Copies of this chain bind each other. A is one copy, B any other.
Amino acid sequence: MKPDIPTLEDVAKEAGVSTATVSRCMNAPDQVSKNTREKVMKIIKKLGYTPNFGAQALAAKRTNTFGAIVPTMSNAIFAAGLQAFQEELGKQGATLLLASSGYDLEVEEKQIRSLVSRGADGLLLIGTQRSREIYRLLEDRRIPFVIAWNYKKHPTRSCVGFDNVAASYNLAKRALDLGHTKFAIISAPLEHNDRAEGRVIGIKKALEEESIDTGNLQIIESNYSIENGAESFEALMKSKSRPTIIMCGNDVLAAGAVKMAHKMGLSVPGDISITGFDDIELASVIEPSLATVHVPHKTMGRVAAEILLKKMENPEYHSNLKLDTRIIQGQSLAMPAKVE
């Protein structure tokens, strides 16, 4: 009556061989004669045997499972990257354990511990900001990990990302070249988010090079949603010193800004220029099309998987890979109406 789950032993008995032989059929087929192998495989199929993961992990000390912790799955950029990450892992028969931290470093830390204790063979992490102890934990246990979505040269750690500061700097530079001097920023929350932080830093750097005071630069921090982008935009445009350009930390916030601009009867880029970041599909649908920064999210996910798999084979392997970004010259960025 019990729907007993077949074990290695069941297969062995039915096939008239030892459990060791059955085990070898699955893990090292060449060590078994073709004859017995075929016999065993038939029984395996017949019984619908699948190895017990716990036992396997316990005995073999590896799980063929990789963990990833992203701030959120609702963000298209992580979704696309994860998709690529998982596809690459899938090719090697590995599985993905996924958690999302909600941009909370403590939650992330718990999840790292959880994934580690679940025997993750390797980890994909976003950004570099986390406690020393957690890095220690990973390094002590020799758990390969790779950091994505932010580039930071490091002698032993691996990362695949891009230079948020430089990308943002370049975009701001372009705005300056067009004659803009009155900037404002709508950023994702900066705390515990080195990507968002980098993007703001890049803008400030560009402004300072042109001797524009960044002391009273207006920066609104806003959670990832179109609605929030719209609200922040409204607030900025109602302030006493209207900017001529609003640079947004990501395309979603920018989309909200554009939406609100229309609602307020403002022309983009006639009355106000708006820029985004990420180049998600959304950017091309908005009218006017969004000036933004293209980031190779899928490539990042795929490469992260590759690095992790290489680290599995050779623990000494590491790689700091900086991917290129490029500015998408959308119509939402143009010269300011009146250059003083």
- Which residues does A use to contact B, with CB under 8 Å? 3, 5, 48, 50-58, 63, 65, 72-74, 76, 79-80, 82-83, 86-87, 90, 95-100, 102, 113-119, 137, 140-142, 225-226, 252, 255-256, 258-259, 262, 281-282, 284-287
Q: How far is the CA of A24 from the CA of B57 in the complex (A)?
A: 23
Q: How far is the CA of A173 from the CA of B137 in the complex (A)?
A: 60
Whose C-beta in chain B lies nearest to the C-beta of A94?
B114
Among B54, B86, B252, B262, contact of A55 (Cβ-Cβ < 8 Å): B54
A259, B285: Cβ atoms under 8 Å? Answer: yes
Q: List 10 A-B contacts (CB under 8 A).
A: A3-B141, A5-B141, A50-B117, A52-B58, A53-B118, A65-B118, A73-B80, A226-B281, A256-B285, A282-B285
A119, B73: Cβ atoms under 8 Å? Answer: no
Q: How far is the CA of A215 from the CA of B281 in the complex (A)?
A: 35
A82, B73: Cβ atoms under 8 Å? Answer: yes
Q: How far is the CA of A19 from the CA of B118 in the complex (A)?
A: 20
A116, B287: Cβ atoms under 8 Å? Answer: no
Q: How far is the CA of A56 from the CA of B50 in the complex (A)?
A: 19
A73, B83: Cβ atoms under 8 Å? Answer: yes
Q: How far is the CA of A57 from the CA of B55 in the complex (A)?
A: 8
**New A-B pairs, 7, CB < 8 Å, besides A53-B117, A73-B79, A95-B97:** A53-B57, A54-B54, A57-B57, A74-B80, A95-B99, A97-B98, A285-B286
Known A96-B98, A98-B86, A99-B86: A285·B226 in contact at CB below 8 Å = yes
A284, B53: Cβ atoms under 8 Å? Answer: no
Q: Nearest chain B CB to A5's CB is how many angstroms away? A: 6
| Residues in B neighbouring A286, C-beta threshold 8 A | 285
Whose C-beta in chain B lies nearest to the C-beta of A97?
B97
| Residues in B neighbouring A82, C-beta threshold 8 A | 73
A252, B226: Cβ atoms under 8 Å? Answer: no
Whose C-beta in chain B lies nearest to the C-beta of A113?
B50
B52, A117: Cβ atoms under 8 Å? Answer: yes
| Residues in B neighbouring A95, C-beta threshold 8 A | 97, 99, 114-115, 118
Known A3-B140, A137-B48, A142-B3: A259·B284 in contact at CB below 8 Å = yes
